[in-house]
C-alpha cells in the first residue's frame, strides 16, 4: 500500500471511526482501525464487533492499493500533531509496518493482518428511509438519555424505532422514566427495531458535525441490523 492524503481529512476520519472503538475488549484487534486503499479513496473502518461499526471514506492518491490495521490511538495521536499538509503512507513489502511522513515529521507504526479484522456488516434491504440529519439528531438527543444503563434488562438499553403511518417514533425507557419523540416522514415503510443506545449516541455525535444532508436508514430482511 502506498498512498497520499490530506492531514485534515485523515484526522477527521480517524476521529469519526474511533467512536466505535470499545473501551474494554477481549479482542485486541478491535482497538485497531482498518485502512483500505483502492481507486481514489482511503476507507477507514472500526467496530466493537458487537453493536456498532463505523466506516468513513476520504479522498486519497492511491499509487498502490492495499490494506492494514493500525492501533487507533497511536495513529490518531500522531496524525493530530501534524500540520495541515499532505501525508504519505506506505507499507514495506512483506511487512505489517506503516511508514507515515508529513513535511519533516515521520513515524513507523506496526499493524496487524487485515484479514483478522472483524467483518464490517453491510446492510442490504429493500426498505430504505431518508431523514434530514438535523431532525434525526434532535430525535436522538430527546430520547437516548432515557435508555437504561443496567444490562439486567437488555431490551431497555436500546431506543425503540417505529416506522409507520407516515411517522417515525423513537421511545426509550429505563423503568423509571420514558421519553418519546415523534416526527412525520415521507415513507410508507412499516418497521420496528431496537437500536442500542451506545450506537445511537455515537450516531448523534456524528450528526452534530453534519449541518445539512440526509441520513439513509436501511434494514436487513431479518430486522436485526440497521
Domain boundary assignment for the chain: 2-116, 128-218
The CATH H-level (homologous superfamily) assignment of domain 2-116 is DNA Polymerase III, subunit A, domain 2 (3.10.150.10)
Q: Residue 224 — very low, low, confident or very high, per pLDDT cuts 50/70/90? A: low
Count CB neighbours of 3 within 10 A. Answer: 23
Set of cell numbers at residue 11: 484526522
Closest-CA residue to 157 (of 142, 174, 136)? 174
- Segment 184-208 mean pLDDT: 89
Predicted confidence band at 223 (pLDDT cuts at 50, 70, 90)? low
Q: Would you tell me how many other CB atoms lie within 10 Å of the CB of residue 56?
A: 20
Question: What is the rounded average pLDDT of the residues 89-98?
Answer: 88
Bridge partners (DSSP) of residue 3 are 62, 89
Residue 79, pLDDT > 90, answer yes
Mean pLDDT of the chain: 91
Does domain 128-218 fall into CATH 3.10.150.10? Answer: yes
Mean pLDDT of 86-92: 94
pLDDT at residue number 50? 86
Alpha-carbon gap, residue 220 to 214, rounded angstroms: 20
At 56 the three-state DSSP class reads: strand
pLDDT (average), residues 43-67: 94
Amino acid at each position: 500500500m502506498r498512498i497520499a492524503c490530506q492531514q485534515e481529512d485523515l484526522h477527521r476520519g480517524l476521529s469519526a471511526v474511533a467512536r466505535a472503538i470499545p473501551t474494554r475488549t477481549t479482542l485486541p484487534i478491535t482497538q485497531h482501525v482498518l485502512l483500505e486503499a483502492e481507486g481514489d479513496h482511503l476507507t477507514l473502518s472500526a467496530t466493537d464487533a458487537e453493536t456498532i461499526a463505523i466506516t468513513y471514506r476520504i479522498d486519497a492518491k492511491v499509487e498502490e492499493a492495499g490494506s492494514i490495521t493500525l492501533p487507533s490511538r497511536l495513529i490518531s495521536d500522531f496524525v493530530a500533531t501534524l500540520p495541515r499538509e499532505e501525508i504519505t503512507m506506505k507499507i514495506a513489502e512483506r511487512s505489517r509496518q506503516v511508514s507515515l511522513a508529513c513535511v519533516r515529521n515521520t513515524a513507523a507504526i506496526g499493524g496487524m493482518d487485515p484479514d483478522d479484522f472483524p467483518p464490517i456488516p453491510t446492510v442490504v434491504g429493500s426498505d430504505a428511509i431518508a431523514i434530514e440529519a438535523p431532525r434525526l439528531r434532535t430525535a436522538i438527543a430527546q430520547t437516548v438519555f432515557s435508555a437504561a444503563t443496567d444490562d439486567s434488562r437488555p431490551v431497555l438499553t436500546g431506543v425503540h424505532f417505529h416506522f409507520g403511518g407516515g411517522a417515525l417514533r423513537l421511545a426509550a425507557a429505563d423503568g423509571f422514566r420514558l421519553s418519546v419523540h415523534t416526527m412525520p416522514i415521507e415513507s410508507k415503510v412499516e418497521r420496528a427495531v431496537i437500536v442500542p443506545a451506545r450506537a445511537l449516541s455515537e450516531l448523534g455525535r456524528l450528526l452534530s458535525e453534519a449541518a445539512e444532508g440526509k441520513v439513509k436508514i436501511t434494514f436487513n430482511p431479518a430486522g436485526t441490523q440497521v
